[in-house]
Structure 1
Amino acid sequence: MRTDRVDARPVSDHVRGLIAQRPDLPVAVIARRAGVAASTVKSLLSDAQRSPDAARTVNPATAARLLAVMPDDLPQCDRGYGGRSTDATPALRHVRELLTEHPHLTQAALARAASMPLTTLAAALHDVDAGQPRRIQAAAADRLLALGNRTPLPKRATRRSDTVDAQPAVDHVRALQLRYDRASTAFIAKVAGVNPSTLACALIDHERDARRGISTDVARRILAVHELPPPAFQRRGHVTETGLLRRLHGMCAAGWTLPAIAHAGATTAKSLTDFTRTRTSTPALRAAVLTAWDHLSHQPGPSAQARRRAAAKAWHPPLAWDEHSIDDPDATPSGTRIPGFPQRWDPSVLRHELAFFTHHLGLSRPECLRRLGLSTRRARQLLTPPPADPGTHHATAP
Structure 2
Amino acid sequence: VFIPISGWVADRLGSRTVFASAIVVFVAGSLLCAVSSTLVAFVAARFLQGIGGAMMVPVGRLVLLRAVPKDELVAALNYLTIPALLGPVTGPALGGAITLYFHWRWIFLINLPIGVLGLYLVLRHIPNVKEPEMPPLDLAGFALSGVGLSVLMLGLSSLGGHLLPGKITAACIILGALALAAYPWHARRVAHPVIDLSLFKLPTFHTGVLAGSLFRIGVGATPFLLPLLLQLGFGMNPLQSGLLTCATAVGAMFMKTLTTIILRQFGFRKVLTVNAFVASAGIGVFGLFTAGTPHIVIFLVLLASGCVRSLQFTALQAISFAEVTRETMSQASSIASMAQRLAQSLGVALGAYALQVSSLAKGHTDVVSADFAPAFVAVALLSAVSLFFHAALPADAGAEVSGHGRGR
Q: Same fold (TM over 0.5)?
A: no
TM-score normalized by the length of structure 2:
0.18
* Higher share in helix: 2
Report 1 or 2 for greater relative contact order, CA contacts < 8 Å, sequence distance ≥ 6. Answer: 2
